[in-house]
């Protein structure tokens, strides 16, 4: 199976549309979209993003922002800016879309891949930002493969099955990386709607579960369109500005 792996759309419709268009332009064929959560929060188009995602065959997890909007997390655990938009989002979402989010789980197994929003052991909150946290999480993988989001930074953590050593690497764009059976992997496609690696382009990846390859892509999108909607909705400036820098 070929899966388009997306995460952290964050209600950024222009970015989500650009990713689907970019995949089409590159003639990437895929059977499913696997979305790793945080469909909403931060951005101005929560309903439209859920509705666009639902037009394609997909699996979607819940992330911490989705839970915050649903009231499943204490908003006090959030930065004030994120809290403001979570409350706004709660008011905007249709009953049907709220039900859709409510039905998502934070972690699920698809084939040999454990999908988790944040980390295999703490699917809602834990950031896997370095090899030591990755190493602890490799102990929670049934078959040695996980897909995570949450950090909004594309990265591959690979653990040598023999030595236990863990390495992190940033995947090159457009070049399939062969997933070696001698390693365990935690793969993060980066963020669609609010990238944080200094590249403002929307990030996504293609996973081929038969050929066992992972390919990273970036798609440019009209950032100013999303920013104009955020401004019109009265969102905090820092959330608007960061999209220009990918931070």
Interface residues toward Zn ion, by CB under 5 A: 8, 38
Contact 23, 202 (CB under 8 A): no
Strands 213-219 and 202-208, by their bridges, are antiparallel
| Cβ closest to Zn ion, residue 65 vs residue 229 | 65
Q: How far is the CB of 118 from Zn ion (least distance, A)?
A: 9
CB atoms within 10 A of CB 199: 17
Q: How many CA atoms lie within 13 A of 68 on its CB side?
A: 28
E strands present in 54-165? 58-60, 107-110, 113-116, 145-148, 155-160
Q: How far is the CB of 65 from Zn ion (least distance, A)?
A: 6
Q: How far is the CB of 188 from Zn ion (least distance, A)?
A: 11
Q: How far is the CB of 208 from Zn ion (least distance, A)?
A: 25
| Cβ closest to Zn ion, residue 38 vs residue 45 | 38
| Cβ closest to Zn ion, residue 9 vs residue 156 | 9
Task: Tell me which residue has its CB nearest to Zn ion.
Answer: 38
User: Closest Cα partner for 26 from 155, 219, 187?
Assistant: 219
| Cβ closest to Zn ion, residue 22 vs residue 38 | 38
């Amino acid at each position: 199976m070929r899966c388009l792996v997306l995460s952290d759309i964050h209600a950024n419709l222009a970015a989500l549309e650009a990713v689907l268009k970019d995949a089409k332009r590159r003639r990437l064929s895929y059977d499913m979209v696997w979305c790793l959560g945080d469909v909403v929060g931060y951005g101005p188009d929560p309903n439209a993003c859920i509705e666009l995602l639902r037009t394609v065959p997909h699996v979607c997890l819940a992330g911490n922002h989705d839970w915050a909007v649903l009231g499943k997390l204490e908003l006090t655990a959030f930065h004030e800016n994120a809290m403001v938009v979570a409350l706004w989002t709660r008011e905007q979402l249709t009953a049907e879309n709220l039900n859709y989010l409510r039905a998502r789980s934070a972690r699920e197994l698809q084939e040999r891949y454990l999908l988790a929003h944040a980390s295999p052991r703490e699917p809602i909150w834990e950031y896997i930002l370095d090899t030591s946290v990755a190493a602890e999480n490799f102990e929670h993988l049934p078959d040695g493969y996980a897909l995570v989001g949450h950090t909004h930074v594309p990265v591959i953590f690979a653990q040598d099955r023999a030595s236990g050593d863990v390495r992190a690497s940033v995947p090159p764009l457009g070049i399939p990386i062969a997933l070696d059976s001698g390693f365990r992997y935690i793969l993060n496609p980066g963020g669609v709607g609010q990238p944080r690696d200094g590249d403002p382009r929307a990030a996504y990846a293609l996973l081929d579960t038969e050929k066992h390859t992972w390919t990273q892509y970036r798609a440019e999108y009209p950032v100013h369109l999303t920013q104009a909607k955020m401004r019109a909705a009265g969102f905090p400036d820092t959330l608007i500005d960061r999209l220009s820098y990918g931070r």
